[in-house]
A and B are shown apart, each in its own frame.
Chain A
Amino acid sequence: MPTDASEELSKKLREISVAEFFEKNRHLLGFDNPAKAILTVVKEAVDNSLDACEQARILPEIRIVIKEARKNFRILDTSGAEIAQLVLEDGNAELRLGDNIIKPIEKKEGKNEIIYLFSYENLNYKFKIIKKENEELYEFVRGKTELKILKLPQDRYKIIVEDNGPGIVKEHVPRVFGKLLYGSKFAGGMQSRGQQGIGISASLLYAQLTTGKPAKIYSRTSPSKPTYYCEIRIDTTKNEPIILDEKFIKDGFRDHGVTIELEIEGKMISGSHSVDEYIYQTTISNPYATIIYEKPDSTKLIFKRTVEELPPLPKPIKPHPHGVELGVFERMLKLTDSRTISGFLTNEFSRIGSGTADQLCKLANIKPNTKPKELNHIQIERLWKIMQTFNFMKPPTDCLSPIGEENFISGLKRKYKADFYAATTREPFVYRGNPFQIEVCMAYGGSLPQNESAKILRFANRVPLIYQASSCAITKAIQKIDWKHYGIDMQNNLPFGPIVIAVHMASVWIPYTSESKEAIDPYPVILKEIKLALQDCARKIQRYIAGKRRREEASQRIGLFEKYIPEVAHSIAYLSEEDEKKIKESLEKMLKKSDILKNIQEESD
């Protein structure tokens, strides 16, 4: 029997909402630091947009905008001491002198410049922004003295993600974005990018925690309807959305789609963990998506789709009996509408027909017409154990949506200019009752860097995996291969040289190592499948490298032959008493003909 104290504790625990829990454990969702947070927000929003478009059978066009939300400046006098701070936000300037916040008395906007005038204790201050092509210059004048103005590193960003998806009806908008663990995907059974329905709400929560600003959402479901606009916050104790403002907007929005605008504390970085890298990789795994990316420095990158056809919509499937965990199985028994255990098994699982269901019941010594809710814990466990060892048919694989060899190559070409591309899509396989499929695409040579480690790109259900490379099944599989065997150099256990290796795992349920979905758990079956796919694709690269080497050798040979020709021509001319020049020309002509070259190669091999 539980004590009074433990009962009290469990009551308290139940009162902590999911939202509150994640507020305290935000690293679990990928918000460990400002740099990673900005990536996570972009990623969650883009993943949702792509999923929505695909499910509505719309070729996605997604616009991502990252803007500096607030600019901070320090004003220094000639001795270098700070005399004031200046904040610029949404076109409004604020001068901070000690504890005093001073608003401008006048704002003058010119063609390429903006001037703010301040006045405080009989002194005039002038702040001037000069706009140049790719940068802004700042001037600050106190009275008649020009002072030094320093721009502080950016700490707040506005992130806007806009899609041309089906839009979300007004009634659902607040809950989709403002309630954790809410969403259509949570029902499961279909391959999609999001799995738990927490990502985007967690982003809202993060914005709320770091800047206090609400999320702004625009949604339109059809051209005949107005755009619904709302600003929402999350009530963290209740895990419920709070609508701060809502209205319908008539014009100025695309025919259908969703736009989400969040302001967060973040840091833009460059390199392998950057937002840029995530976007590049997203263009690779989604060649049918057009992606427009506007960076904080206002550069605009447009990635036009290279494939004009959406991948087939994966079919939802019921769980396979081998994949189900005992706890989940128990919960399913409690929630089912089926009236008999036999009906429950056939309705809730794939690959169980009524005959198999009766057989399972018989083996578990349970009457097939028992009501599911009447099973006791011992019976449940017995039935579950029998299900785990029973030889079922493998799960159907039409629930998977691989990128496809051709499209994967077309995707990789969007970013990497190489001499040769190859791809391999394996047949679907099963781990713990879950079907999955591995694909590998490689690029070799061309403008890829010669003296760097191979570029490794990891994808799970078309989502680029940016962090936690070393604990990921993909990295581990790559390390297990002897790349030298395929004519590829190695350094520190990894392939080295002008090669890009992209690996994609498609599955209804990807086993991530953590909730932030950064790495694939290295199950032995998954590792093995990845390895086989890598080896198959590497063989294609190997053939290319061997061919390339042969071609290089051939051209060296031709060089050698060319040098000898004048000598040979002279001797033959003397022997045959024919024209030396003619012989020389004929020999040179012979060298240029490709069929001769081919014979030459065969003869010397």
Chain B
Amino acid sequence: MSIEVLKKLGKKLINDIQKNENPSLDVPIRTLSNITYDPKTKLIKLGNKTAKRYLFNVAHIKKFVQTIETAAISKELIEVNKHLNLREVYYKMRRTIPDTNINIVDEQEETNKAIEDLELITGLSREQLHFNADRNGFAAGNIIIKDRGHIIDWSKMGSGGWAIPSNVEEIEFKKVDAKFIIYIEKAATWERLNEDRVWEKLNCVIICSKGQATRGIRRLLQRLNLEHNLPVYVLVDLDPWGIYIYSVLKFGSISLAHISESLTIPGAKYLGLTPDDVEKYGLKRHIEKYKDVDLKRLEEVSNYEWFKHDKRWQLFFSKMRELKGKVEIAALTERGISFISDSYLVEKIKNKDWIE
């Protein structure tokens, strides 16, 4: 029971106080230094390094207070069976300590981090703690689901698609006709594919999350992959950021390494542009020169443990370096309005021209 875990956390602090010890929380470290990649499971795992976060420590006190306050809010939410969006949690905590100029939180980023820390400390997921993230993804395709008692047919969602909630645990898949999923980085590309009714032509599902996939979408993709054996193809731009979107879906992320198992799709396939595609489709003049941040990120990504020893990916990265710039998937529009739907995707999937 989530509530018991939170109560236990409170008792632990009481215990510290009774023993006259500086009250502290053990927070697992969420940086690359505490991340291991398991080549067998192909998952990014969190190591067991933890950091003590003390109440009576100038450098820690603010985060300490934020963390236990989110815990208290979570306990309250579970008790009354309500959920709060991350934005709402921020507003609930946003206040100034009376007679001081100390704010409990200054930015939402702080409450978001505090909640992530709380997940690590308690071993409970954000959903179990009754916190929701913003929904910012949508889906369309040959699938019928049941959500809060309503039957929803993803093939009858019009131009907007079905908005994916942050918590997808309660969703029931009623009828799954689709044979695979295309996850799309850019909303514009999703709209192109939706207008072209690609999901109908190729009998699939198209899902978009505007950039990095949220947890809800990752979980949704994983469930479809696991429960209905739908392969997941990832359609992203040719740049280090796009590659990393694919990387997170497939191997997991550094900040959520503790829940990699419930979020990753080890079989995900890269269907984005490749350096060879740039040549093949004559997109050279659309190369946008790398900025310093791009180059730095490219080096980081290519050095991640899970890419470092993969010869195919290393060749890919070195070709990316040779290109000296990035190419967006939208550049394909040059070949024709529906070139991506009619030719690119069809050919790639038919020829199994993806990277795993």
Q: Which A residues contact B (CB, under 8 angstroms)? A: 557, 560-561, 563-564, 566-568, 570-578, 583, 586-587, 590-591, 593, 596, 599-600, 603-604
Contacts and interface: CB of A to CB of B under 8 A. Distances in A.
Contacts of B104: 567
A576 B7 contact: yes
25 contacts: A560-B58, A563-B100, A563-B102, A564-B102, A567-B104, A568-B23, A571-B68, A571-B71, A572-B10, A572-B13, A572-B14, A574-B75, A575-B7, A575-B13, A576-B10, A576-B13, A578-B14, A587-B17, A590-B20, A590-B22, A590-B56, A591-B56, A596-B22, A603-B57, A604-B57
Given A568-B55, A574-B10, A575-B72, 10 more contacts: A563-B97, A563-B100, A564-B102, A572-B14, A574-B72, A575-B6, A576-B7, A576-B13, A587-B55, A600-B54
Nearest to B17: A586
Nearest to B14: A576
Interface string B19-48: 010110000000000000000000000000
Contacts of B328: none
A596 B65 CA distance: 19
B295 interface: no
B97 A564 contact: yes
A583 B18 CA distance: 9
Interface of B: 6-7, 9-11, 13-14, 17-18, 20, 22-23, 54-59, 61, 64-65, 68-69, 71-72, 75-76, 97, 99-100, 102, 104
A574 B76 contact: yes
B72 A571 contact: yes
Contacts of A596: 20, 22, 56
Q: Which 3 A-B residue pairings sit nearest by Cβ, starting from the closest? A: A575-B10, A576-B10, A574-B72
A574 B22 CA distance: 19
A575 B104 CA distance: 18
A561 B76 contact: no
A411 B234 CA distance: 84
A577 B20 CA distance: 19
A568 B65 contact: yes
Contacts of A564: 55, 61, 65, 97, 102
B102 to A, nearest CB: 6
Given A574-B76, A575-B9, A560 B14 contact: no
Contacts of B100: 563
A602 to B, nearest CB: 10
Given A586-B17, A593-B20, A596-B22, A572 B68 contact: yes
A587 B20 CA distance: 9
Contacts of B72: 570-571, 574-575
A603 B22 contact: yes
A574 B54 CA distance: 19
Among A570, A574, A599, chain B packs the most CB atoms within 10 A around the CB of A574
A599 B16 CA distance: 14
Contacts of A600: 22, 54, 56-57
A577 B61 contact: no
A587 B13 CA distance: 11
Nearest to B59: A604
B61 A560 contact: yes
A225 to B, nearest CB: 75
A93 B54 CA distance: 84
A570 B58 CA distance: 20
A574 B9 CA distance: 11
A574 B13 CA distance: 12
B68 A568 contact: yes
A575 B68 contact: yes
Nearest to A595: B20
Contacts of B23: 568, 572, 587
A73 to B, nearest CB: 66
A474 to B, nearest CB: 43
Nearest to A603: B57
A578 to B, nearest CB: 6
A577 B9 CA distance: 11
B37 to A, nearest CB: 33
Contacts of A604: 57-59
Contacts of A572: 10, 13-14, 23, 68
A571 B65 contact: yes
B56 A561 contact: yes
A599 B14 contact: no
A588 to B, nearest CB: 11
Contacts of A573: 10
A100 to B, nearest CB: 82
A22 to B, nearest CB: 69
A568 to B, nearest CB: 6
A142 to B, nearest CB: 73
Given A590-B17, A600-B22, A577 B7 contact: yes
Nearest to A557: B58
A579 to B, nearest CB: 10
A571 B7 CA distance: 11
B54 A603 contact: yes
Contacts of B58: 557, 560, 604
Nearest to B70: A571
Contact of B61 (A561, A566, A590): A561
Contacts of B55: 561, 564, 568, 587
B57 to A, nearest CB: 5
Contacts of A566: 97
A360 to B, nearest CB: 71
A603 B20 CA distance: 15
Contacts of B17: 583, 586-587, 590
Given A575-B75, A576-B11, A567 B69 contact: yes
Among A570, A574, A575, A578, chain B packs the most CB atoms within 10 A around the CB of A575
Contacts of B14: 572, 576, 578, 583
A555 B145 CA distance: 61
B71 A575 contact: yes
Contact of A599 (B6, B10, B11, B22): B22
A76 to B, nearest CB: 66
Contacts of A575: 6-7, 9-10, 13, 68, 71-72, 75
Contacts of A561: 55-56, 61
Nearest to B6: A575
A230 to B, nearest CB: 76
B121 to A, nearest CB: 12
B97 A567 contact: yes
Contacts of B6: 575
Contacts of B97: 563-564, 566-567
Contacts of B64: 568
Contacts of A560: 58, 61, 102
A572 B11 CA distance: 8
Nearest to B98: A566
A206 to B, nearest CB: 66
A586 B13 CA distance: 12
A578 B10 contact: yes
A355 to B, nearest CB: 71
Contacts of B61: 560-561, 564
Among A557, A561, A603, chain B packs the most CB atoms within 10 A around the CB of A603
A591 B55 CA distance: 11
A590 B104 CA distance: 22
A127 B100 CA distance: 70
Contacts of B102: 560, 563-564
Nearest to B24: A603
Contacts of B68: 568, 571-572, 575
Contacts of B59: 604
Contacts of A599: 22
A178 B97 CA distance: 82
A440 B18 CA distance: 51
A340 B185 CA distance: 112
A587 B97 CA distance: 17
Nearest to A556: B58
